[in-house]
């Protein structure tokens, strides 16, 4: 009794005697027989066929034409075809392979040799199918991992957003509270409130509220999705990121110096995504400063006109990100208890916009070099 999982082989030959011989020689396989090329095509549409043994010399529709039809079909082109024929001229054999056959066996055949060749091709087919399945599984797993990374990055982004807003608003809210407390104290002690003084307080309140509104507008513009690309000024993109972290850096006593060349050329890409790169690197450095309690934390950003590129270098004195030999931009690789998602996405954003980024550790900290091609003069 044959194993239910035996490969299914379709034998196509217009000679019934030849089919009977093959049925006897290949009895360990599940065999389906067809006496014409058209019958073979009809069977392939109805049955799952693992391999086809195909005669060439048949009336109406010969083996070459059957092979051509199957190989031109997206649905059936992956079925391996072996020509089993009496045609033994070199040109015939060459033509068989040109039509897409994986092997060519000349009649009369040796049953043992036929079995070995079939076994070899079926094993190769099995390896191929397993490999394709593994690749498909790996791709699906990678998609899931990418989705998880994206969700974590969005959560981290929201956390960073709230932190920066809280630092940006901490001082103005404190000022508003002080003004209100002062006014309430006067009212509680029945003190007169001077009209001019009151107007100054209202004006001050308005300035503070306006500042807070502008701050929120900055964050809103930065974090809203923007897929548009165009030429933009690198210095402006860097300043967007700096403005977002300014209050947080001041709160943590982090010194931030910026050095830039004059008359900087523009680069092509998405300005918000460029600012996101700078912001991610700055946030990563800030997290390391705070976690390691670095004395006199400092970051230096330099923006330089290269020959045909704009080069932004960001250097910190936080002691470095990872140990020697690790990929700074790999997922989950970062400082001791950080997810590393930020730097992983930095690399992805650079790749998307055709920018280059390098990251390595120096004696006192980490150094990132972001290189982008300048705007063409014709632009």
Same-domain check for residues 90 and 172? no
**Which pLDDT tens digit goes with each residue over 340-376?**
456 777 888 888 888 999 988 888 899 999 999 987 6
Q: Are 98 and 107 in contact (CB under 8 A)?
A: no
Q: Cβ(269)–Cβ(354) under 8 Å?
A: yes
Q: Whose CA is closest to 321, among 302, 304, 303, 346?
A: 346
What one-character DSSP code corresponds to residue 264?
Answer: P
- 204-215 pLDDT, tens digit per residue, is 777 767 666 666
164, 191, 219 - which closes a domain: 219
Question: 252 and 358 share a domain?
Answer: yes
Report whether pLDDT(265) > 90: no
pLDDT at 235: 93
pLDDT at residue 54 greater than cutoff 90 = yes
363 shares a domain with 263 = yes
Q: Are residues 172 and 103 in the same domain?
A: no
Q: Which residues contact 277 (CB under 8 A, 6 or more apart)?
A: 346, 349, 350, 355, 357, 370
- Do 313 and 210 lie in one domain? The reply is no
Please check whether residues 282 and 342 belong to one and the same domain. Answer: yes
- Please, are residues 289 and 254 in contact by the beta-carbon 8 Å criterion? yes
User: Is 3 a domain residue?
Assistant: no
């Amino acid at each position: 009794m044959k194993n239910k999982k035996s490969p299914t082989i379709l034998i196509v030959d217009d000679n019934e005697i030849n089919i009977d011989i093959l049925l006897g020689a290949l009895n360990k396989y599940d065999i389906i027989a067809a006496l014409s090329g058209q019958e073979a095509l009809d069977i392939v549409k109805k049955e799952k066929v693992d391999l086809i043994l195909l005669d060439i010399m048949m009336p109406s529709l010969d083996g070459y034409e059957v092979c051509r039809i199957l190989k031109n079909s997206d649905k059936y082109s992956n079925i391996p075809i072996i020509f089993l024929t009496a045609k033994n001229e070199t040109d015939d054999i060459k033509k068989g392979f040109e039509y897409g056959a994986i092997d060519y066996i000349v009649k009369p055949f040796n049953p043992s040799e036929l079995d070995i060749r079939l076994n070899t091709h079926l094993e190769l087919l099995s390896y191929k199918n397993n490999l394709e399945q593994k690749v498909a599984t790996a791709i699906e797993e990678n998609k899931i991992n990418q989705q998880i990374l994206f969700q974590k990055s969005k959560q981290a982004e929201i956390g960073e957003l709230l932190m920066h807003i809280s630092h940006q608003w901490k001082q103005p809210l404190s000022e508003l509270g002080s003004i209100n407390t002062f006014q309430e104290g006067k009212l509680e002690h029945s003190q007169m409130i001077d009209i001019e003084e009151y107007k100054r307080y209202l004006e001050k309140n308005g300035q503070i509220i306006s500042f807070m509104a502008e701050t929120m507008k900055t964050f809103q513009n930065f974090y809203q999705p923007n897929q548009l690309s165009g030429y933009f000024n690198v210095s402006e993109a860097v300043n967007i990121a700096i403005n977002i972290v300014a209050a947080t850096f001041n709160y943590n006593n982090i010194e931030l110096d910026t050095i830039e060349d004059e008359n900087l050329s523009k680069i092509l890409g998405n300005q918000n995504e460029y600012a996101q790169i700078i912001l991610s690197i700055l946030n990563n450095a800030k997290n390391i400063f705070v976690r390691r309690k670095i004395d006199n934390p400092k970051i230096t950003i330099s923006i330089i006109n290269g020959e045909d590129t704009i080069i932004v270098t960001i250097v910190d004195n936080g002691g470095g990100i990872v140990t020697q030999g690790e990929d700074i931009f790999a997922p989950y690789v970062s400082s001791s208890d950080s997810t590393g998602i930020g730097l992983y996405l930095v690399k992805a954003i650079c790749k998307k916009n055709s920018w280059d980024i390098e990251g390595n550790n120096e004696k006192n900290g980490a150094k990132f070099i972001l290189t982008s091609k300048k705007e063409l003069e014709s632009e």
